[in-house]
């Protein structure tokens, strides 16, 4: 079983360190156990001020990294801070919405200049629908999400997910 080091950085974020067999051999001269215990005190691997430094099985790290910036570590158990994840999701939706509106505006302009009025009208209608999107509905859905997977599912259908 592959072992990794998990720790909470001084800024509150969670870092996961996976030491390759080569790094283990070069840095610590041998065994995985020696490397893992050495890494916990090696300040190049685990920075000063880090807490909850734990060695865990790699399979326990969440596969879904969507809310990685909201992870927290308690004795090697990685979980999602839901209030922080809500902020992340709201920011992602807002950013993606802005990008899609800008893309549609440019597409509309290009279609008009190229003499494709039907395409331009379709882009304009979609852009207008996005500009008047009821964000209160999304806000309610974000606030009501009971877990990270439910929160990740909150996304306006008309906006491409990054």
- Please report whether residue 158 resides in a domain: no
Are 100 and 67 members of one domain?
no
**What average pLDDT does the segment 104-115 reach?**
97
Q: What is the mean pLDDT of the segment spanning 117-142?
A: 95
| The pLDDT of residue 89 | 97
Domain boundaries, position 18? 3-80
- Residue 33 scores a pLDDT above 80: no
End-of-domain residue from the set 80, 96, 125: 80
In the chain, the number of structural domains is: 2
Show the CA angle centred on residue 35, arms to residues 31 and 41, nearest 5°: 155
Mean pLDDT for the stretch of residues 78-88: 95
- Report pLDDT for 29: 57
- Per-residue pLDDT, 73: 87
> Over 80: is that where the pLDDT of 128 sits?
yes
Instruction: State whether 99 and 148 are in the same domain.
Output: yes
118-122-128-130 Cα dihedral, nearest 10 degrees: -160
What's the predicted TM-score (pTM) here? 0.80
Asked if residues 17 and 4 have their Cβ atoms less than 8 Å apart, the reply is yes
Give the pLDDT confidence of 51-73 residue by residue, as tens digits: 888 777 888 888 899 999 999 98
Angstrom CA distances, 27 to 9, 31, 33, 36, 86, stand at: 22, 11, 13, 11, 40
pLDDT at 152 over 90: yes
Tell whether 87 and 73 lie within a shared domain: no
Q: What is the mean pLDDT of residues 80-91?
A: 97
pLDDT at residue 150 tops 90 = yes
Q: Which of 26, 49, 80 is the last residue of a domain?
A: 80
Q: State yes or no: pLDDT of 41 exceeds 60.
A: no
pLDDT at 30 over 80: no
Q: Do 158 and 96 form a contact (C-beta atoms < 8 A)?
A: no
Residues 97 and 45 in one domain: no
**46 and 14 housed in the same domain:** yes
42 domain residue, yes or no: yes
């Amino acid at each position: 079983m592959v072992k990794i080091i998990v720790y909470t950085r001084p800024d509150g974020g969670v870092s996961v360190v996976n030491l390759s067999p080569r790094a283990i051999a070069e840095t610590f001269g041998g065994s995985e156990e020696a490397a893992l215990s050495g890494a916990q005190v090696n300040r190049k691997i685990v920075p000063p001020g880090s807490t909850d430094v734990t060695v865990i099985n790699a399979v326990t790290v969440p596969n879904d990294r969507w809310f990685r910036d909201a992870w927290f570590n308690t004795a090697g158990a990685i979980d999602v801070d839901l209030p922080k994840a809500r902020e992340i999701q709201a920011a992602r939706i807002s950013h993606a919405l802005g990008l899609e509106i800008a893309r549609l505006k440019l597409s509309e302009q290009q279609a008009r200049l190229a003499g494709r009025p039907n395409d331009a009208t379709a882009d304009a209608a979609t852009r207008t629908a996005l500009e008047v999107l009821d964000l209160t509905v999304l806000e309610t859905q974000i606030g009501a999400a009971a877990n990270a997977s439910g929160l990740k599912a909150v996304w306006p259908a008309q906006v491409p997910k990054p």
